[in-house]
Homo-oligomer: A and B are copies of this chain.
Amino acid sequence: MITVLRIGHRPDRDKRITTHVALVARAFGVDEILIDKKDSELERTFLGVCERFGGKVNIKTGVKWREALKNWKGQIVHLTMYGEKFDAAMDEFDRDGDLMIVLGSEKVPREVYEMADINVSVGNQPHSEVAALAVFLYKYFDGRPFKNFEDGQVRIIPNKKGKTVVEN
């Protein structure tokens, strides 16, 4: 099981970024998304995508992050521009156990760095938690990251020059 924990979500400022985080998590094979601040609108948007495109991915907002970290039984990886190189750290992951991926916002409490088993950077440059999550999962799943969701209302068929959307 893979869970993404998003810390420091500000519903007024981060709604779209955190929505992108949640959609990336879903598309790249995460089972559950936890967000620290309550945000019912974000939950609704996300569940609407799941209904239309398939996939039963849990989402929960208003989660106490410290407890979530403390109670986690598997490994915890924190994605941060300050961490060690993510690709070099790939051997440190226990592929048979559960993984929690922690994504911060602007300021991440020092505790998070300490509670994480591994702090990794997807490039030691400022860019985007959305991008960091995607590239991390792409590498973690070794280039086979994309879920096929069979239970949605529609499916998209790859097309070289336009759009092919098929009703299920």
Chain A binding site: helix, strand, loop or mixed by DSSP? Answer: mixed
Asked if B27 contacts A163 (CB within 8 A), the reply is no
Residue A128 contacts which of B13, B134, B149, B158 (CB distance < 8 angstroms)? Answer: B134
List residues of chain B with CB within 8 A of the CB of A164: 82
A25 to B: closest C-beta gap in Å? 9
- Each complex incorporates copies of this chain amounting to 2
For the side of the interface on A, what is the size category? 35 or more
Residue A113 contacts which of B49, B124, B134, B162 (CB distance < 8 angstroms)? Answer: B162
Render A123-147 as a binary contact track against B, CB cut-off 8 A, 1 for contact. 1111110111111001100010111
Closest 3 A-B residue pairs measured CB to CB? A131-B134, A20-B128, A123-B146
